[in-house]
Structure 1
């Protein structure tokens, strides 16, 4: 039983925290918004039809009495700290995955209380004493325990595979704290491949998954097969990686402590970079002027970045220093802050994406390295020679990308969210050569588009450069009459033009653009 894991989940925690912060009744429906959409809601709101990812106005239409609150991770962490502290009084080795979810090792706990079921009841009673509902799941592996906690189940030893197999494939992405950033894309791809359940995915061979997919898919495949993962633990960190800061004068305000925490975060990552490692489990420690020590461990699926580390330090310090009850707050000002990287992995083991979220929206370490490299190239070649693709609005694939010089304001040429009747449907071509071609019929006559939107002859061949291909298939033309009133805008973005799709004898598919008697290869599907 030494490898067993307890998962404790507080349902709808962002909504619970928002309601507690506003002193609302538990029966009052409340929804938490992020970017204008519902990211969490209370059970009373769900009872009248409010759902996650619903737009604000739709949620209010379903429930006119709905109370709305903006997403606030600091608030969630601050109000979750008393729950964690209460659990830690019983079981010290607590790890927080995110506000509302924590895990702890079952080693010794079940033996102390007599059984896992009794220990689970004891945990829920402790959380209930804080005025919070919770569910406990127990399993052999961390991920399985978290999924079991969402159902309040105890999974028998060795029963993880059987428990996970019938669950929908989307369950692999139900807990963001256990996923890489692109897990939703992976789940969508698996669904489109016909894999409907976790058992379907687990049935694939590990070699096939490693060959076809990336690092996160390999990790997801291991969790789908209920393979052992790193369990919660309280092992001592390597002493040469620990960083600390003596607070002089002592700190008793959240903003001052968070400022020190951000500096300490940068210092920690300099130390980790020098050792060629990355941190996946971090312990934040604070020592007061009376000598009392406060400690909390945070666990992450992705290696922590400096910004992610600083966020967790801020959340934890706010949870300590802003506790509602005096008993929950430190007994004096903080004189020492310490960061312990409890678990590290080799940097060589990481498989990072090239953009780390993208230069247009990412803030990861990889994106920053890419940006610095492009700035150096821009200094060598000139300001307009390095450009960033930005999603734009338009009907053709070439119009849906705006190239913006690096460093300029990222403003698309047209609004991508606006309606674009006649837009080329997906999937989009992978190559946009914009090369002139000649399309001819079986009698070797040029094929054009008439004013009525039809071909002058059935396309039979296409000449591109010095080579001619036979056409196995064609579709179209689709004619458009756009900006006919403007002579200055009657180029590739206006005037009368048409598009067609053709399939060459070598199985390549092309998107053709016709305007003013000339055909152009607008895109190549690969």
Structure 2
């Protein structure tokens, strides 16, 4: 496999469209994090995955551009077309990266080195080329500008850091972080593990990464041949001459295409997009994907491809509109990785993507802290266990998973935790206030609860008390929590609440949470 890689492609095209000099530091931002940056920015300390604020503090003169997949794909069409003029079978892995089978072309041009020289002369932008067995090894070889001999892919990969597994679009950050914490710092160390142990510990995702680290292909070489009826052909009347019309039509076509694959238990990993214009011109491109395509992924690639065709430079774009479109699954895998949620339908992925774009737009208006999402973390009290994380930041626990948290409220936790606890009073059967002793015991069984001076409700069940966080060592009145089950009325169902008590004499009670 020969891979041609255009370094920092999103930054290159964004700077070119905006008229920014190539010598200026620049970065593309997505979800308030650096998605790509050029070499000038990296020399100033900017790195992929860094938050925007940190990147701009490291490089105050940094030019920042929003992420735009359509722009990247549209301008990359010229590069793919230049490669296709020399080599048959071009596959666009993502904008900035194309792969082609090297055997036939190398024989025609007199060797791999001669082929690479012709490619570098024809491609109109700066690029690097690598040759190796398998797409993963060839991609890393392109970044190094190396030719890896047949059968030597594993040796080439062995000294490389395990972080190389987290390629754009692969979503292996958690796996890579776990491997590093386990002491597996290189691809060779990971590849040395027995495959059986990898499957037992890391599952299917770990097995795929293990195959890549060993220099094997992403999937076994014998793939199921797609049945002919899975190809989707659509006729357009009137013809499609605008990208927005193509994008609108692509959503429905993508849903039908993926539904046809799912009916056979398949998912697509190589998508062929072929079109015929009104004047009889034939257009085609193959997109390779590391993960099986969802309907949203198919629609995006159809839209990107139409942008590349219809917005190409004069003389390179079609002379008329598209009258026929054919979506062909060039390669399929079993569709188990696309198993849907039990409670959601097939449109959930698109809904999630639409919500994510809305969150990013709100962040652009209100700042990175304008959209926060809750993460359940370690802690003793219910409110302290909820940590708010800005949208786009890693949703990871900050406390060790084996932390015991002595004094923590046992499960179940309240479904609703009140921002401001509501004052309450707890009485025993004789109507006397209930308090908590220095040994964290109630002075009498709770019998009746009043909330905010309202009507009292009988307590039909209770559990606790549990010492509140840190109160065994903190001076002052004893503090504890109880779970109370309140009797229902004629118009009210039974209800369970979490209450907090401070003090023995004149105890202060508050309601902190409500259970469903």
Q: Does 1:165 align with 2:149?
A: no
1:251-296 CA deviation, whole Å, 9 max, x = no partner?
1110001111111111112211222211111011121110101111
Q: Is the 8 A contact 1:396 1:424 kept in 2?
A: no
Counterpart position of 2:57: 61
* CA positional deviation for 1:30: 1.5
- Distance 1:84-1:206 versus aligned 2 partners, 3 A rule: same
| Greater Rg over alpha carbons, structure | 2
Q: Does 1:218 align with 2:203?
A: no
Q: Does 1:391 align with 2:391?
A: no
* CA positional deviation for 1:166: 1.0
Counterpart position of 1:434: 410
1:10-38 CA deviation, whole Å, 9 max, x = no partner?
11111011012113222222111112222
Q: Is the 8 A contact 1:215 1:351 kept in 2?
A: no
Q: Is the 8 A contact 1:238 1:342 kept in 2?
A: no
Q: Is the 8 A contact 1:481 1:494 kept in 2?
A: no
* CA positional deviation for 1:65: 2.9
Query: Is there any run of 5+ residues in structure 1 with no aligned partner, and where?
Result: 369-388, 403-413, 437-445, 450-474, 498-514, 517-526
* CA positional deviation for 1:299: 0.9
Alignment of structure 1 residues 193-232 onto 2, 5 Å: 193-229=182-218
**Matched position secondary structure for 1:303:** coil
RMSD: 4.0
Q: Is the 8 A contact 1:354 1:367 kept in 2?
A: no
Select which of 314, 330, 334 maps to 1:326: 314
Query: Is there any run of 5+ residues in structure 2 with no aligned partner, and where?
Result: 354-372, 392-396, 413-436, 441-468, 482-496, 509-516
Q: Is the 8 A contact 1:397 1:429 kept in 2?
A: no
Counterpart position of 2:484: none
Q: Is the 8 A contact 1:244 1:264 kept in 2?
A: no
Q: Does 1:294 align with 2:268?
A: no
Q: Does 1:124 align with 2:100?
A: no
Take 1:232 and 1:255, find their aligned partners in 2: how far apart are those partners?
38
Q: Is the 8 A contact 1:395 1:424 kept in 2?
A: no
Counterpart position of 2:168: 176
- Distance 1:477-1:197 versus aligned 2 partners, 3 A rule: farther
* CA positional deviation for 1:75: 0.8
Counterpart position of 1:138: 131
Counterpart position of 1:340: 328
**Matched position secondary structure for 1:278:** strand
**Matched position secondary structure for 2:83:** helix
Take 2:67 and 2:350, find their aligned partners in 1: how far apart are those partners?
25
**Matched position secondary structure for 1:214:** helix
Q: Is the 8 A contact 1:137 1:153 kept in 2?
A: yes
Q: Is the 8 A contact 1:354 1:366 kept in 2?
A: no
Counterpart position of 2:8: 12
* CA positional deviation for 1:492: 6.5
* CA positional deviation for 1:239: 2.3
Counterpart position of 1:192: 181
Counterpart position of 1:265: 254
- Distance 1:424-1:283 versus aligned 2 partners, 3 A rule: closer
- Count of residues in correspondence between the two structures: 408
1:157-189 CA deviation, whole Å, 9 max, x = no partner?
11111111111111111x234x3x4x2111111
Q: Is the 8 A contact 2:382 2:409 kept in 1?
A: no
TM-score normalised by structure 1 residue count? 0.69
Take 2:301 and 2:201, find their aligned partners in 1: how far apart are those partners?
34
**Matched position secondary structure for 1:327:** coil
* CA positional deviation for 1:495: 7.2
Take 2:384 and 2:204, find their aligned partners in 1: how far apart are those partners?
30
* CA positional deviation for 1:119: 1.4
Take 1:494 and 1:433, find their aligned partners in 2: how far apart are those partners?
11
1:191-218 CA deviation, whole Å, 9 max, x = no partner?
1111111111111111111222211111
1:391-435 CA deviation, whole Å, 9 max, x = no partner?
368843743667xxxxxxxxxxx74569xxxx9933266998726
1:55-84 CA deviation, whole Å, 9 max, x = no partner?
323333333332211011111111111100
Q: Is the 8 A contact 1:355 1:366 kept in 2?
A: no
Q: Is the 8 A contact 1:393 1:417 kept in 2?
A: no
Take 1:478 and 1:309, find their aligned partners in 2: how far apart are those partners?
59
Counterpart position of 1:425: 399
Take 1:113 and 1:15, find their aligned partners in 2: how far apart are those partners?
33
Counterpart position of 1:81: 77
Counterpart position of 2:349: 364
1:202-245 CA deviation, whole Å, 9 max, x = no partner?
11111111222211111111111112456999x99642111121
**Matched position secondary structure for 1:335:** strand
- Distance 1:424-1:241 versus aligned 2 partners, 3 A rule: closer
Take 2:135 and 2:261, find their aligned partners in 1: how far apart are those partners?
26
Q: Does 1:94 align with 2:103?
A: no
Take 2:221 and 2:6, find their aligned partners in 1: how far apart are those partners?
19
**Matched position secondary structure for 1:83:** helix
Select which of 245, 251, 258 maps to 2:234: 245
* CA positional deviation for 1:351: 4.4
TM-score normalised by structure 2 residue count? 0.70
